[in-house]
């Protein structure tokens, strides 16, 4: 592998790490881990999910219990989604992902300049319906 490619990849990673999108994402993730209400909602969600898995793996699963737990899981997920810190975290993740999708699209357009323009594969699988 070419050392210059690795060096440029490190340089790009450093630039990305200094981007407002990445800085905001990291700060929001850090704040989310400090948010006691959010961590409690996550804990509840994961506990119910664990209980469903445990019941499902039994030799004779109690499907009524699984149904009840599934409804609890849906409720826990809705409560989690209503948390302002969760919404902020999801927004920061979407913003960072959008930036990274742009970076990847640019790389793909340089590496495969005729792909997207000719209607072929651009190399970016985001939103792709599959090869075929």
Q: What is the pLDDT of residues 43-91, one digit of tens each?
A: 999 999 999 999 999 999 999 999 999 999 999 999 999 999 999 999 9
Domains of the chain: 3-111 (1.20.1500.10)
Predicted local confidence at residue 112, as pLDDT: 86
Closest listed residue to residue 85, CA positions, set 39, 131, 16: 39
Q: Which two tokens stand for residue 18?
A: 């200094």
Predicted local confidence at residue 124, as pLDDT: 59
Q: Is residue 131 over pLDDT 60?
A: no
Q: Which two tokens stand for residue 106?
A: 């640019």
Q: What is the pLDDT of residues 16-53, one digit of tens each?
A: 999 999 999 999 999 999 999 999 999 999 999 999 99
Q: Which two tokens stand for residue 16?
A: 């990305």
The pTM (predicted TM-score) of the whole model is 0.75
Q: How far is CA 24 from CA 27, 80, 95, in A?
A: 5, 21, 9
């Amino acid at each position: 592998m070419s050392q210059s490619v690795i060096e440029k990849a490190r340089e790009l990673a450093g630039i990305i790490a200094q981007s407002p999108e990445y800085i905001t994402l990291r700060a929001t993730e850090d704040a989310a881990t400090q948010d006691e209400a959010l961590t409690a909602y996550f804990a509840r969600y994961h506990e119910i999910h664990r209980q469903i898995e445990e019941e499902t793996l039994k030799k004779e699963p109690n499907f009524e219990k699984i149904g009840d737990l599934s409804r609890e899981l849906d409720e826990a997920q809705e409560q989690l989604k209503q948390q302002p810190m969760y919404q902020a975290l999801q927004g920061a993740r979407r913003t960072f992902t959008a930036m990274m999708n742009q970076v990847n699209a640019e790389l793909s357009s340089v590496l495969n300049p005729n792909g997207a323009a000719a209607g072929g594969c651009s190399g970016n699988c985001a939103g792709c319906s599959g090869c075929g």
